[in-house]
Amino acid sequence: MHLYILDLYQITMAYAYWKSGKRNETAVFDLYFRKNPFKGEFTVFAGLEECIKFVKNFKFSVSDIDYLKTVLPENIEGEFFDYLQNLTTNEVRLLAIDEGMVVFPKVPLISIEGPLPVVQLMETPLLNLVNYASLVATNGMRFRLAAGRDKALLEFGLRRAQGPDGALSASRYCYLGGFDGTSNVLAGKLYNIPVRGTHAHAFVTSYSSVAEVKEKELFNKKTNQIEKFTPVCIEWQKRLAPVLDFLTDQASEGELAAFIAYAQAFPNGFLALIDTYDVIRSGLPNFCSVAMALNDFGYEPRGIRLDSGDLAYLSTVVRENFRKVAEKFGVPWFSKLTIVASNDINEDTIHSLNQQGHEIDSFGVGTHLVTCQKQPALGGVYKLVEINKNPRMKLSEDVEKVTVPGRKQAYRLFGTDGNALVDLMMQPSEEPPKPGERVLCRHPFQESRRAYVIPAKVELLHKCYWDMGKVVQPLPSLCELRTKAMNSLQTIRIDHKRALNPTPYKVSVSTQLYTFMHELWLQNAPIGELS
């Protein structure tokens, strides 16, 4: 299946290369992006493992070839299909930055070298596998930065993603970017991501009276006996009415029934959605009644979820009432019950909630997270930078679109405080920068922008992941990638990470690479008027 992440033009190009005698030319392509997403100044690189697996499994099946024969013109030479059928990635080398690293524009995430038609065939697959993965991992990381380390972040996007598998990618890479769990059961099964979930409004509206709950009993952990549970809940409703200032006949009986049924099913970790009817008059009192009954039976309830309304206000009121119950009935843990919020939350909502003050412990995020509503595509590109050892440079009237030609070594230079100072691209023939020695870092396009840097630590950014038919780096687990992403983010200065007007992180080139680029640029300059 994966083989076919192909645009037709890759096949037509492969044929033209093959036919015009370029099939054995060696090409180098860089995959990179030009601009960080979401008006931010950082990106989390994700999707590499899938890329390596694609390269490893690259093979046209017989049925693929049969289909291609129907698509291409009749006069295609038959030998080409034999060539396609026998294509492998045994002559391909793939270098990449580690998955999970925080990355920046212009520095290749992946650099791939091999026979021209083969590496051209990698274009769309690698872009497809990196673009969305990195975008949504970055989005996840931004939510994490907004919410802070101590909040739980849950991905609830399955129903709004691009089909079942779009949702899987979303769950996987949001977790990499720092989420704590997902509602998506298959993602849990496949990637070992913690899965979370309670119940929907429909669960509540499906009950209309307590009589509907057939099972009236629950095992009492304190007495070790099965005992009537429903009456205890109703009793608690009466006791709580003056404390929480509600009228028992205004609290929905159907909702109480639903909570009782849910608590009997999940007496440990009971968590209820309390906004089906009225949070203050019904949902909250009903929850507290059932939660206190569970407490009587020796269970510890978990908390509530809010899915509508003013989340700052409601969460605060809920917390106040939790505190009242805690104090009045001597159950201090009640004041610490979890409050989950999940109503159309985006990064800005969280910042705004933080400003207003709120009592939310956990955010469930769907649409805005998985669709990346703020910017739904990362503009990753795949550019030819060298062919048969000759550098190639894509010129453009827009200087931001000019490529950095040839093979490059990229380094991240760190200061004495452990923070990343700058990324530096050099030519492979150059001596790497050394800790303690000053090195000139230049803006790739603006001559006046340059500075000497004395790194305390130097990190080579690219590793070879695929070498002539073999995976030559360990592929970490998703959980390890998540840790890597968190650690990498730690080394990025806070002003690069802030939500509003962050400072751009510097990506630079060495003087040798700068001179090389600009000489090549001059050779390719168009004749004619200045544009």
Q: Cβ 227 to its own copies, closest distance in Å?
A: 16
Residues of span 167-226 touching its own copies by CB under 8 A = 167-170, 183-186, 188-189, 195-203, 205-208, 212-215
Q: Which of 43, 111, 264, 491 lies at the binding interface for its own copies (CB under 8 A)?
A: 264
What does DSSP say about strands 462-467 and 457-460: parallel, antiparallel, or unpaired?
A: unpaired
DSSP 225-256: EEEE-HHHHHHHHHHHHHHHT--TTTS-HHHH
**340 binds its own copies per the rule CB under 8 A:** no
**268 binds its own copies per the rule CB under 8 A:** yes
Q: Which is nearer to its own copies, 6 or 513 (CB)?
A: 6
C-alpha 179/C-alpha 164 separation (Å) is 19
C-alpha 317/C-alpha 323 separation (Å) is 10
Stretch that binds its own copies, among 386-394, 427-435, 447-455, 511-519 (CB under 8 A): 386-394
Stretch that binds its own copies, among 96-104, 159-167, 320-328, 483-491 (CB under 8 A): 159-167
What does DSSP say about strands 462-467 and 470-471: parallel, antiparallel, or unpaired?
A: antiparallel
Q: Which of 128, 237, 346, 510 lies at the binding interface for its own copies (CB under 8 A)?
A: 128
Q: Which is nearer to its own copies, 208 or 515 (CB)?
A: 208
Which of 217, 210, 235 is CA-nearest to residue 289?
235
Q: Which of 85, 88, 390, 416 lies at the binding interface for its own copies (CB under 8 A)?
A: 390
How far CA 304 is from CA of 207, 243, 288, 357, in Å, comes to 19, 19, 10, 18
- Please name every residue paired with 115 in a beta bridge, in sequence order, or none if there are none: 26
The alpha carbon torsion through 287, 289, 291, 295 (nearest 10 deg) reads 180
Residues of span 441-500 touching its own copies by CB under 8 A = none
**298 binds its own copies per the rule CB under 8 A:** no
- Please name every residue paired with 182 in a beta bridge, in sequence order, or none if there are none: 155, 195
Is there a contact between 311 and 339 (Cβ–Cβ < 8 Å)? Answer: no
- Number of residues lying near its own copies (CB under 8 A): 117
Residues of span 65-124 touching its own copies by CB under 8 A = 67-68, 71, 73, 75, 116, 120, 123-124
Q: Which is nearer to its own copies, 310 or 459 (CB)?
A: 310
Q: Which is nearer to its own copies, 127 or 146 (CB)?
A: 127
Structure tokens at 418: 């452990």
Q: Cβ 410 to its own copies, closest distance in Å?
A: 21
**404 binds its own copies per the rule CB under 8 A:** no
**22 binds its own copies per the rule CB under 8 A:** yes
The label of the residue with tokens 């760190």 reads: 414
**380 binds its own copies per the rule CB under 8 A:** yes
CB-CB neighbours of 66 under 10 Å: 10
**387 binds its own copies per the rule CB under 8 A:** yes
Structure tokens at 171: 């769950």
C-alpha 318/C-alpha 284 separation (Å) is 7
Q: At what angle do helices 311-329 and 230-244 cross, to 10 degrees?
A: 110
**161 binds its own copies per the rule CB under 8 A:** yes
Q: Cβ 442 to its own copies, closest distance in Å?
A: 25
Residues of span 49-68 touching its own copies by CB under 8 A = 64, 67-68
Structure tokens at 120: 């051209």
Q: Cβ 247 to its own copies, closest distance in Å?
A: 8
Q: Which is nearer to its own copies, 259 or 414 (CB)?
A: 259
Q: Which of 10, 248, 352, 483 lies at the binding interface for its own copies (CB under 8 A)?
A: 10
DSSP 61-109: -HHHHHHHHHHS-TTS-HHHHHHHHH--STT-EEEEEPTT-EE-TTS-S
